[in-house]
């Protein structure tokens, strides 16, 4: 199997961390900002069910994988299970703060039920695309500390820890896809992954936007005011979605591999700051 760019010295290291245990749920944990809070809460609401789906999709192709890839899949699964555990706790604090996430979680389950009805290789392709999304979001989150500078310390630490591990295992689903489709012509492989990415992107943007708007509605922010403030936050300032656009486009380029951009320096810097408390 062509690994196409995964660093030979890459080590995927599950970091068993726990965040926010015993803390009361703060409603606007993003420095008192309901917009930023809703944006990240809506994203977190997808993780427990979504990451369970990622694990299920990738693990189906572990048998017969080369030993190194099989070991990376095992480490990927361990990391994702811990991410789900911590986001369940994070979402619990949102519930304690008065938010109702049930409609957001039901929409995630509905999307996944449609995908699970497809063949396993399609589920793997969807996982590969969503893992690219999480990796480029993670890159931007660690690259620019301003995204989380107003967040409470425990929430910010959770998101940075998650981002570290998303970058670290960003090539696993892609390499599993390369292995699973090793007998496909290159053109067919590109056509399928491009089609799935476009489908996934539409659903990701639509569903996260609807989720954010629902949480804003629960704060009494509705109509054009909610739309304008959400779009400003997502696309202008701090503009997370605008800033990842180039990395999203790179997915469609010939010869793409997640590790064409080796951003392990972001992992090292973030780990040091988390250890020393430099983010505080």
Structural domain count of the chain: 1
Q: Could you tell me if residue 107 is inside a domain?
A: yes
Average the pLDDT over 132-147 and give the result.
Answer: 96
Task: Indicate whether 12 belongs to any domain.
Answer: no
Region 122-139: mean pLDDT is: 97
What does the mean pLDDT of the chain come to?
A: 95
* Four-point Cα dihedral 93, 141, 77, 173, nearest 10: 140
Residue pair 37/233 in contact by the 8 Å Cβ criterion: no
pLDDT tens digits, residue range 40-78? 999 999 999 999 999 999 999 998 999 999 999 999 999
225 within domain boundaries:
yes
* Domain housing 243: 34-276
Q: C-alpha dihedral over 71, 16, 165, 270, to 10 degrees?
A: -140
Residue 46 domain-assigned? yes
What is the CATH number for 186?
1.20.1260
Residue 170 domain-assigned (yes or no): yes
Check whether 136 has a pLDDT greater than 90: yes
Contact 277, 23 (CB under 8 A): no
Query: What's the confidence (pLDDT) of residue 3?
Result: 47
The confidence score (pLDDT) of residue 4 equals 55
Read off the pLDDT of each residue in 96-105 and give the average, rounded to a whole number: 97
* The pLDDT of residue 277 is above 80: no
Share above pLDDT 70 across residues of the chain, in percent, rounded to a whole number: 98
Q: Identify the pLDDT of residue 156.
A: 96
Summarize pLDDT for 11-41 with one digit per residue, the tens: 999 999 999 988 887 899 999 999 999 999 9
Q: How many other CB atoms sit within 10 Å of the CB of residue 198?
A: 12
Q: Is residue 1 part of a domain?
A: no
Q: For 77-99, how does the pLDDT look when each residue is reduced to its tens digit (9 = 90+)?
A: 999 999 999 999 999 999 999 99
> Would you state the pLDDT for residue 1?
42
For residues 203 and 67, give the distance between their C-alpha atoms in angstroms, rounded to a whole number.
34
The pLDDT, as a whole number, for residue 2 is 44
- pLDDT tens track for 212-227: 999 999 999 999 999 9
With vertex at residue 139, the alpha carbon angle to CA 138 and CA 145, rounded to the nearest 5 degrees, is: 90
CB 79 within 8 A of CB 135: no
Residue 279 has a pLDDT of: 76
**72 within domain boundaries:** yes
Question: Is residue 201 in a domain?
Answer: yes
pTM: 0.95
């Amino acid at each position: 199997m062509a690994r196409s760019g995964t660093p030979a010295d890459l080590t995927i290291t599950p970091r068993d961390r726990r965040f926010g245990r015993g803390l009361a749920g703060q409603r606007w944990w993003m420095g008192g900002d309901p917009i930023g809070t809703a944006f990240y809460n809506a994203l977190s609401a997808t993780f427990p069910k979504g990451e369970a789906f990622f694990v299920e999709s990738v693990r189906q192709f572990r048998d017969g994988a080369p030993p190194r890839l099989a070991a990376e899949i095992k480490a990927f699964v361990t990391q994702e299970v811990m991410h789900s555990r911590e986001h369940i706790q994070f979402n619990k604090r949102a519930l304690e703060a008065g938010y109702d996430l049930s409609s957001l979680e039901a929409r995630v389950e509905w999307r996944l039920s449609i995908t699970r009805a497809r063949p396993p290789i399609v589920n793997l392709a969807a996982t590969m695309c969503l893992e690219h999304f999480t990796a480029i979001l993670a890159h931007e989150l660690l690259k620019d500390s301003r995204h989380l500078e107003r967040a409470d310390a425990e929430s910010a630490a959770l998101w940075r820890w998650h981002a570290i591990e998303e970058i670290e295992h960003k090539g696993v689903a892609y390499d599993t896809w390369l292995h699973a489709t090793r007998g496909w012509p290159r053109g067919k492989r590109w056509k399928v992954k491009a089609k799935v990415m476009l489908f996934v992107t539409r659903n990701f943007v639509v569903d996260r936007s609807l989720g954010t708007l629902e949480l804003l509605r629960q704060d009494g922010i509705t109509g054009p005011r909610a739309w304008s403030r959400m779009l400003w936050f997502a696309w202008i300032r701090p503009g997370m979605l605008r800033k990842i656009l180039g990395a999203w486009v790179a997915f469609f380029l010939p010869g793409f591999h997640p590790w064409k951009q080796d951003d392990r320096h972001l992992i090292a810097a973030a780990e040091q700051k988390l250890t020393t408390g430099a983010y505080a």
